[in-house]
Amino acid sequence: MNVEQITLPRKYHAAVEHWRRHWMPDYESLLANWDKYFPKDEAFCLCAKLELGTPDLIQIGDQRGEKKRLQPDQLTEEQAKHLLAIIRAQASTEFGSIQQHAGTLHRAADEEDRFWVLRVMAEELRHGYQMFHLLLSQDWDHVSGGVKGEEMVEEILSMQTGSHVLDAFNVEYDSFIDNICFAALVDRVGKYQLTMQKVCAYKPMADSMPPMLREEAFHLAAGVIPLRRWAQRAANGDPLVTMQVIQKSFNKWFPRALEMFGDERGGDTNIKFGFKDMKNREAQDRYVEEVQRMTRDVNSRYLRARFAHATPDKVETVLAELERSRGKHDGVSWDDLIHVPDPRFFRRKGESAWQLVGTQGEAFAGADDYLRHLAQHLPEAYLTTRDMRAYAETLRKVHSGEMSVADAIKKMPKLKRVGGTCPCSRSVRWVMEEPETGAAR
Secondary structure percentages of the chain, helix, strand, coil, to 5? 60, 5, 35
Cβ atoms 133, 7 nearer than 8 A: no
CA distance readout (Å), 146 to 92, 137, 142, 217, 267? 20, 16, 7, 37, 27
Among 40, 237, 331, 439, contact with another protein (rule: CB under 8 A): 40
Chain centroid offset of residue 194 CA = 12
Of 51 and 174, CB closest to another protein: 51
Of 34 and 345, CB closest to another protein: 34
**Other residues' Cβ atoms within 10 Å of the Cβ of residue 416:** 13
Cα–Cα distance for residue pair 67/55, rounded to 1 Å: 9
* Binding-residue pattern over the window 2 to 21 for another protein, x denoting contact by CB under 8 A: x-------------------
* Binding-residue pattern over the window 340 to 369 for another protein, x denoting contact by CB under 8 A: ------------------------------
Three-state SS for 379?
A: coil
CA distance readout (Å), 119 to 33, 164, 353? 11, 22, 34
* 286 lies in the site for another protein, by CB under 8 A: no
CB of 98 to another protein, least distance (A): 18
Amino acid at 361: G
CB of 39 to another protein, least distance (A): 9
Choices 5-13, 76-84, 293-301, 394-402; region in contact with another protein by CB under 8 A: 293-301
* 293 lies in the site for another protein, by CB under 8 A: yes
CB of 309 to another protein, least distance (A): 11
Choices 35-43, 101-109, 140-148, 271-279; region in contact with another protein by CB under 8 A: 35-43
Give Dmax over CA atoms of the chain in angstroms. 67
Cα–Cα distance for residue pair 80/75, rounded to 1 Å: 6
Name the DSSP class of 355: -
Please give the residues from 294 up to 313 whose contact with another protein meets the rule CB under 8 A.
Answer: 294, 297, 300-301, 304, 312
Please give the residues from 208 up to 237 whose contact with another protein meets the rule CB under 8 A.
Answer: 214, 217-218, 220-225, 228-229, 232
CB of 42 to another protein, least distance (A): 8
Chain centroid offset of residue 109 CA = 23
Of 70 and 217, CB closest to another protein: 217
Of 147 and 221, CB closest to another protein: 221
Of 31 and 217, CB closest to another protein: 217
Cα–Cα distance for residue pair 234/244, rounded to 1 Å: 9
| Number of alpha helices (DSSP H) and beta strands (DSSP E) in the chain | 16, 6
Of 173 and 218, CB closest to another protein: 218
Per the DSSP assignment, residues forming a β-bridge with 57 are: 67
Nearest CA-CA partner of 370 in 395, 350, 387 = 395
Of 179 and 300, CB closest to another protein: 300
* 38 lies in the site for another protein, by CB under 8 A: yes
Among 73, 155, 167, 290, contact with another protein (rule: CB under 8 A): 290
DSSP 38-74: STTPPPP--SEEEESS---B--SSTTTTSBPBSSGGG
* 171 lies in the site for another protein, by CB under 8 A: no
Of 1 and 365, CB closest to another protein: 1
CA distance readout (Å), 209 to 19, 247, 319? 23, 31, 37
* 76 lies in the site for another protein, by CB under 8 A: no
Ramachandran assignment for 202, one of left (phi > 0), alpha (psi -120 to 50 degrees), beta (any other): beta
Of 149 and 211, CB closest to another protein: 211
* 1 lies in the site for another protein, by CB under 8 A: yes
Cβ atoms 412, 395 nearer than 8 A: no
By rule CB under 8 A, what count of residues binds another protein? 27
Among 20, 101, 119, 133, contact with another protein (rule: CB under 8 A): 119
CB of 312 to another protein, least distance (A): 5
Choices 22-30, 156-164, 287-295, 433-441; region in contact with another protein by CB under 8 A: 287-295
Cβ atoms 342, 348 nearer than 8 A: no
CB of 143 to another protein, least distance (A): 34
Cα–Cα distance for residue pair 355/33, rounded to 1 Å: 47
Of 105 and 220, CB closest to another protein: 220
CB of 315 to another protein, least distance (A): 10
Three-state SS for 333?
A: strand
Of 1 and 240, CB closest to another protein: 1
Amino acid at 210: P
Binding residues vs another protein (CB under 8 A): 1-2, 38, 40-42, 119, 214, 217-218, 220-225, 228-229, 232, 290, 293-294, 297, 300-301, 304, 312
